[in-house]
Structure 1
Amino acid sequence: MTAVFAPATLQDIAELRQLYFDVYGHGYPVPLGSDPAVMRRLITDPHTHWLTARLADSGALAGSAVVQTDPGSRIGKLVGLAVHPDRRRGGLAGRLTGAVCDAAFAAERLDSVYATVRMVTEGPQQVVVRNGFKPLGLLPNAAEVAGCESLGLFARFADGVLARRASVHRAPAALGPLLTAAESSTGVPYGVVLPSDTLGSVGPDGPAQPPTADLEVISAPGFVRRRFLELFPDPAGRYYPLHAPNAVLVPPDGAFEAYVDLNPVAGSCALIAVHPYPAAVTHALEPLMRTVSRSGADYVETLLPLSDTASLTAFLAQGFVPSAVYPAMRRIGETFHDYVVLSRTSRQIDFRTIAVSGPLQPYVSAYLTAWTATYLPRHEVAQ
């Protein structure tokens, strides 16, 4: 099947909406496939690369793929890959993925592009792997598409990036299975990461007392954005590429402010930053989970540097499970730093319905090991 690739135009919006409906029905949780205003903004955004695939003979729209970029962090995200059900032959999805990623890398001088891939079949996983993406882990129960689905995390790196990673020699022991899986699946070396006994950080007055009430939600986007920039003027303090807070969660006493990207349509919540310090929210995990669940999200994730042992330990101690590791995610000068994705879901996880390709298999085992250690403590047996 011969297809012609071209940048999406405003005149394509109606056909694109029909394409995403044909592929996903009403269950697609990303507005670029359904919201005309969002689609217009992205098509005209110089930092978004949107390619369409049309049949050479008829001109019919056969596929679509988008790479959104964050120029400040030199990271992109592959989203919106869709091929019409009648055109799924001849490797169109793979060729379209390669073309849009090549265009984004060439135009933006990106260090990496990542993708969160559905795991209902192995096909999408194979498409990204054939285009140079490395598997980085799992995001269990991360999206509401056709029911609650787990996603695989993959990333493609620019030449030379992985060779300039900063070394990390100590990390919480709970990360051991994940790092072993990452080394096995990607070939990215982690060496011997020794367990650390560092405790989670606490505030200047000692550990905070857990709130008993649910957190208050402030969802005024303009106010949240201004307040966020005031509290985190240094970009290093608000590092979470391609996410911006749209709500802030606070306990009744105002002890902390947790800035989140809350997406009720996808059923997910990204914990972007916490004031005054990251671990301040860990004592309030249960109220936080109740609050975001009430707001429509059953999945919460956060992103922490592999080198931040204190914050990692604090989140791990409160029920977050290490689910993915993103090597060389953040550039500081000419050196790159690894990050860990920690997640927690309030729904029962069911891996029986997922299709896991070979490169992701080690991550399933690593996640199950970490989840078991977190939620099924060993019981001593008296002799």
Structure 2
Amino acid sequence: MTAAIQQATPADIADLRQLYYAVYGPHYPTALGNDPAEMSRLIQDPHTLWLVARCPRTGALAGSAAVHGESGSRIGRLEGLAVHPDQRGSGLAGQLTEAVCAGTLDAGELDSVYATVRTVSAGPQRVVARNGFRPLGILPNAVDLSSRESLALYARHSPGVLDRRVPVTEVPASLMPLLRTAEAALGISYADARATPPVPAAPGPAPRRLEMIEAPAFVRRRFKEHFPDTGRWFYPLHTPNTLLTPDDGGFEVYAYLNRTGGYCALVTAHPDPAAAAGWLEPVTRTLTRAGAGYVEALVPLEHHAALSAFAAQGFIAGALYPAMRRDGDGFHDYVVMSRTAEHIDFRGLVVDPPLRPYLDSYVSAWASTHLPVREVAS
């Protein structure tokens, strides 16, 4: 089918909600597919390109895709890619993906676009791969739809961006399998990165009560007071809605908690992430009790101490996003560290061959973190 692809308008919202229900049922975890007010805001957002496809014969809505960015950032997220079940196999998903990337990435507005892709079948992985996206890793148990699902991380970069990465001289030895996998998958090099032992973990906190504040407007205001620009924090397209702090106010941890999808992103901490390094365990435990079966953090590859701190608390590096953040003429690489409180079951996972090495790397890292080392007595 040759669909008529055009920019979404607020008049499309009712049809879009029906489309997402037809594709995902009642379990779509983001406001983009189920909150009319948020959908209207995104459609009219100058940093979002949202396209819809309609059947030229009937005018029925057949598909949707958007690339969402934000002010001051040159990274975008491909989201809301959906094709009506009656149109599957028509190539429409690829047409929509290419169209939104052409209107943002290829137009020079963004340096990269990423997508988190379902792994219940190989189809979504192949759609993004055919449109220039390359695998960056695996996010186990990342979202709760009808059941807990793992996602794959893919990204597409503008030409020349990967060649301007800022070199990293040392990384924790536990990350080397992931780096080697990325080298083979992306054609980049970490030959200058030396594997070193982890930085010793910070001492555990003295017994103090940890408070969790879920007041999105208040958290946003306070966050902007402490971080008026992105120079001191970086977590694209995640606005914190949750604040965690000990009763003496010694630090504040900002997080984005999605109760519908059962996941959480740790955004940053004030006055400095190091102030909360020793509190990672109680912070994660508190978020888990609040319904986050999956907690992730985005950590700069050059921040050896931060990577070591997360690893010491059971966070595992499942994905590597090279050239994620622009800094002058260069770009910094980031690692996705995650921890899940739920049983990981990869038996239903479907991965295309290019993604398979990342899965093997994660399984190896998980075993090294959670399985005891056997001692042999002679």
Tell me if both proteins adopt one fold, taking TM over 0.5 as the criterion: yes
1:147 and 2:142 correspond: no
Change in CA separation of 1:234 and 1:210 when aligned onto 2, cut-off 3 Å: farther
Change in CA separation of 1:359 and 1:211 when aligned onto 2, cut-off 3 Å: farther
Q: Which residue does the alignment assign to 1:236?
A: 231
1:138 and 2:133 correspond: no
Change in CA separation of 1:71 and 1:233 when aligned onto 2, cut-off 3 Å: closer
Q: Which residue does the alignment assign to 1:68?
A: 68
1:51 and 2:51 correspond: yes
1:344 and 2:322 correspond: no
Unaligned 5+ segments in structure 1 are none
1:294 and 2:289 correspond: yes
* Aligned pair partner of 1:209 in 196, 201, 205: 205
Q: Which residue does the alignment assign to 1:158?
A: 158
2: CA distance, partners of 1:88 / 1:116: 20
Q: Is residue 52–residue 65 contact of structure 2 (8 Å, CA) maintained in 1?
A: yes
List 4+ stretches of structure 1 deviating above 6 A.
none
Q: Is residue 119–residue 150 contact of structure 1 (8 Å, CA) maintained in 2?
A: yes
* Aligned pair partner of 1:373 in 354, 361, 368: 368
CA RMSD between the two structures: 1.6
Change in CA separation of 1:309 and 1:230 when aligned onto 2, cut-off 3 Å: same
1: CA distance, partners of 2:6 / 2:59: 11
Change in CA separation of 1:349 and 1:279 when aligned onto 2, cut-off 3 Å: farther
TM-score after normalising by structure 1: 0.95
1: CA distance, partners of 2:125 / 2:207: 42
Change in CA separation of 1:143 and 1:107 when aligned onto 2, cut-off 3 Å: same
Report the Cα offset of residue 209 of structure 1: 2.1
TM-score after normalising by structure 2: 0.96
1:218 and 2:213 correspond: yes
Report the Cα offset of residue 275 of structure 1: 1.9
Change in CA separation of 1:200 and 1:70 when aligned onto 2, cut-off 3 Å: farther
Unaligned 5+ segments in structure 2 are none
Q: Which residue does the alignment assign to 2:97?
A: 97
1:273 and 2:275 correspond: no
Residue aligned with 2:361, SS = helix
Report the Cα offset of residue 247 of structure 1: 0.8
2: CA distance, partners of 1:246 / 1:353: 32
Q: Is residue 74–residue 108 contact of structure 1 (8 Å, CA) maintained in 2?
A: no
1: CA distance, partners of 2:35 / 2:228: 32
Report the Cα offset of residue 148 of structure 1: 0.5
Q: Which residue does the alignment assign to 1:264?
A: 259
> Aligned residues, how many?
378
